[in-house]
Amino acid sequence: MVGIMKLNNRQYPSDFDVYLFHEGTLFESYKMLGAHILYENDIQGVRFAVWAPNARQVSVVGNFNNWTGTQHPMERLASGIWVLFIPELAHEDIYKYEVTGPDGRKELKADPYAFYSELRPATASIIYNLNTFEWQDQKWMAQRLKKDIYNKPMTIYEVHLASWKQKENGEFYSYQELADELVDYAIDNGFTHIELMPVMEHPYDGSWGYQITGYYSATSRYGTPEQLMYFIDQCHQKGLGVILDWVPAHFCKDAHGLGLFDGTPLFESVDPMRAERPIWGTYSFDYSKPEVVSFLISNAMFWMDFYHVDGIRVDAVSSMIYLNHDNPLPVKLKNQFGGEENLEAIKFLKKLNETIFQKYPGALMMAEEATEWPLVTSPTSTGGLGFNYKWNMGWSNDVLKYMKLDVKERPKHHHLLTFSFLYAFTDNFVLPFSHDDMVHGKRSLLNKMSGDYWQKFANLRLLFGYLFAHPGKKLLFMGSELGQFDEWKYQQEMDWMLLDFEAHSNFYRYYKELNKFYQETNSLWRLDHEQYGFQWIDADNAEQSVITFMRRGKRKGDYCIVICNFSADVYHNYQIGVPSNGNYFEAFNSDATSFGGSGQLNSAPIHASKIPHNNQPYCLEITVPPLGIAIFMKETKTRKRGVSTNGI
């Protein structure tokens, strides 16, 4: 069998690996701990190893011994790691650890390092050989090392696999089936990456994967580990990157999981005030324990190692770095210096990013961080957390709050549109419209929009246009591209039938054209993270709810002029400043009738007048569409209306 190791003696785990594990620097601890198929003295079997330092006894139980703990007791090493080699066990045998705690109570625990698990509601771990899949993504992996991710377009499609599409009987599609449908759909819609909400094993569908029991186990809801590998391999072969949501902040309390693993707080803190995460009903990881650090950093490495994922979006970073964030305890927690920062978590995150980038320099490490913590995407050597991207949740909150307002109220809240530009270049940002924005009564993006039926769609077209014109990479939750009316429901598939309705099919066409235009227009992404890539033309027209700005590319003359009208009025003969003389043409307009708009376009080229305006030496007179975005470019020999701007 592929990938089976041979051992000629019982010297396992190695003393050096054990030392590193307890030091918090064994970053491939999944090769030491867990269940591994191998040969010992030419006998095939499975070596089990588990960290349970406070247990009185640990035994391996399973379908091979009638779940009887007396048959296969494990040997305790001085390190607190328990080991056992059982001959003749093989791929897909089922097991757990029977752990006897210091008080004599016995609990059946899933393996923290299991590579596969039973389908819920069953909870046993499954012996699994992950080395049999033959990857075909060598070209992608080689190119990933050279790719300049910062100066390329990036649109991320956030997906919950169970509810993207379901079979007629309500069953989930498998990873392999999704590889044949979801991958092509994402590519056809212009996405560069797909972000999967957690695919690690979890007991409760309603947690969406954010309350995990099997950090190394690809959930069996959608099939086998090889099928997930096939899905990722197909993504890569077709040019689509894969990002996984990852949850190192907390874990669920289910009896078979990590909680009180050896009969004592092990992965969580011994201090119940720091161990509990009341708002989620979970335990928080204790980053002060080196073994927990080894476990978690190894887990991030594991998904990149065995599954070839391109990036990790780290969930709930704010709740990690602040002791009291989303943690309504009766008293405030303090660190040793009296502050509310979780110093151990901050150290952990820095070590995590340093370790990942050392081995995978082309990786994406994205932080879901909602506070004003500085330097999230700066190197650790300069005092940063070391991520290379941060979700700009402040921008999302502000702009969605604004879009809910009646058009008459918007002039008084103009700052919600413009404030983000004060900090747009302090970190490398992803602009997210994620699942969190459209659940728990928050309504879908379309249903957040103010106004009547037509205005809702016009507002959403405008919002998407503003998203793609604003500096930063883009993320959309599935269903947003259809203009779903209902908020996300994890129990059922997306509302695909909406495409049978003209307003939704028009919006879907708009989204695809907008994303295509974005990808072909270098100035909209080439300098996403540099101040030079953006310049205000008019930020202050609150009375008419209009903003105008310039996006620049790297080459001289590579720029576009963006005007967004958040009022329901059409403005004719509206003057905007431009930086140079010549003819300008409207390259994109969200108000086109083919998109469901009213058709207030600028169909002919417009010659710039030598009249200074908006601190620019020239100006244009244009028609500004209602609740619309229009983007203008200067004509050149190779760039005119209807000619692709790709390569400018």
- 215 inside domain: yes
Q: Is residue 468 domain-shared with residue 598, that is, in the same domain?
A: no
User: What angle do helix axes 453-469 and 502-520 make, rounded to 10 degrees?
Assistant: 10
Report d(CA 337, CA 519) in Å as an integer. 48
- 475 inside domain: yes
Q: Which one-letter amino acid corresponds to residue 231?
A: F
Give the CATH number of the domain where residue 561 resides. Answer: 2.60.40.1180
Among 501, 521, 541, the domain boundary falls at: 521
Q: Is residue 536 domain-shared with residue 443, that is, in the same domain?
A: no
Q: Is residue 514 domain-shared with residue 367, that is, in the same domain?
A: yes
Sign for the CA dihedral angle at 503, 506, 512, 517 comes to negative
User: Which helix or strand (DSSP H or E) is residue 262 part of?
Assistant: none
Residue carrying structure tokens 């791929």: 91
Map residue 464 onto helix, strand or coil: helix
Q: What is the DSSP letter of 119?
A: P
- 555 phi, psi to nearest 5 deg: -85, 155
Report d(CA 498, CA 478) in Å as an integer. 14
Report d(CA 442, CA 440) in Å as an integer. 6
DSSP 13-63: S-HHHHHHHHHT--TTGGGTSEEEEEEETTEEEEEEEEE-TT-SEEEEEET
pLDDT at 138: 97
pLDDT at 641: 66
The number of domains in the chain is 3
Chain-centroid distance, C-alpha 234? 19
Give the CATH number of the domain where residue 104 resides. Answer: 2.60.40.10
Q: Is residue 622 domain-shared with residue 495, that is, in the same domain?
A: no
Instruction: Identify which of 109, 48, 69 has the alpha carbon closest to the alpha carbon of residue 266.
Output: 109
Q: Is residue 376 domain-shared with residue 501, that is, in the same domain?
A: yes
Known catalytic membership, residue 103 = no
How high is the mean pLDDT in each 10-residue block of the chain (648 residues)? 51 87 97 94 92 98 96 95 94 95 97 98 97 96 92 97 95 96 96 98 96 98 98 98 98 97 97 91 97 98 98 97 87 93 98 97 96 96 97 97 98 97 97 94 95 97 98 98 95 96 97 97 97 97 98 94 98 97 97 97 96 96 98 87 44
Query: Whole-angstrom distance between the N-terminal and C-terminal Cα of the chain?
Result: 52
Among 64, 92, 126, the domain boundary falls at: 126
Give the CATH number of the domain where residue 171 resides. Answer: 3.20.20.80
Q: Is residue 555 domain-shared with residue 509, that is, in the same domain?
A: no
Map residue 573 onto helix, strand or coil: strand
Instruction: Identify which of 566, 588, 432 has the alpha carbon closest to the alpha carbon of residue 510.
Output: 588
Please pick, among 291, 368, 398, 427, the residue that the annotation labels catalytic. Answer: 368
Q: Is residue 513 domain-shared with residue 542, that is, in the same domain?
A: no
Please pick, among 40, 98, 226, 315, the residue that the annotation labels catalytic. Answer: 315
pTM above 0.75, yes or no: yes
Q: Is residue 361 domain-shared with residue 466, that is, in the same domain?
A: yes
Q: Is residue 417 domain-shared with residue 470, that is, in the same domain?
A: yes
pLDDT at 648: 30
- 203 inside domain: yes
Question: Which residues form the domain of 566?
Answer: 532-634
Instruction: Identify which of 37, 454, 80, 524 has the alpha carbon closest to the alpha carbon of residue 261.
Output: 80
- 341 inside domain: no
- 79 inside domain: yes
User: Which tokens go with 615?
Assistant: 């601190």
- 104 inside domain: yes
Q: Is residue 507 domain-shared with residue 538, that is, in the same domain?
A: no
Q: Is residue 177 domain-shared with residue 105, that is, in the same domain?
A: no
- 67 inside domain: yes
Among 126, 143, 161, the domain boundary falls at: 126
- Angle, vertex CA 505, rays to CA 501 and CA 506, nearest 5: 115
pLDDT at 250: 96
pLDDT at 331: 86
Q: Is residue 449 domain-shared with residue 542, that is, in the same domain?
A: no
Known catalytic membership, residue 75 = no
pLDDT at 638: 75
- 330 inside domain: no
pLDDT at 381: 96
Alpha helix stretches (DSSP H) within 31-146: 138-146
pLDDT at 636: 86
Q: Prior bond to 605 cis, omega within 30?
A: no
Q: Which one-letter amino acid corresponds to residue 20?
A: L
Beta strands in 327-435 (DSSP E): 364-367, 389-391, 429-433
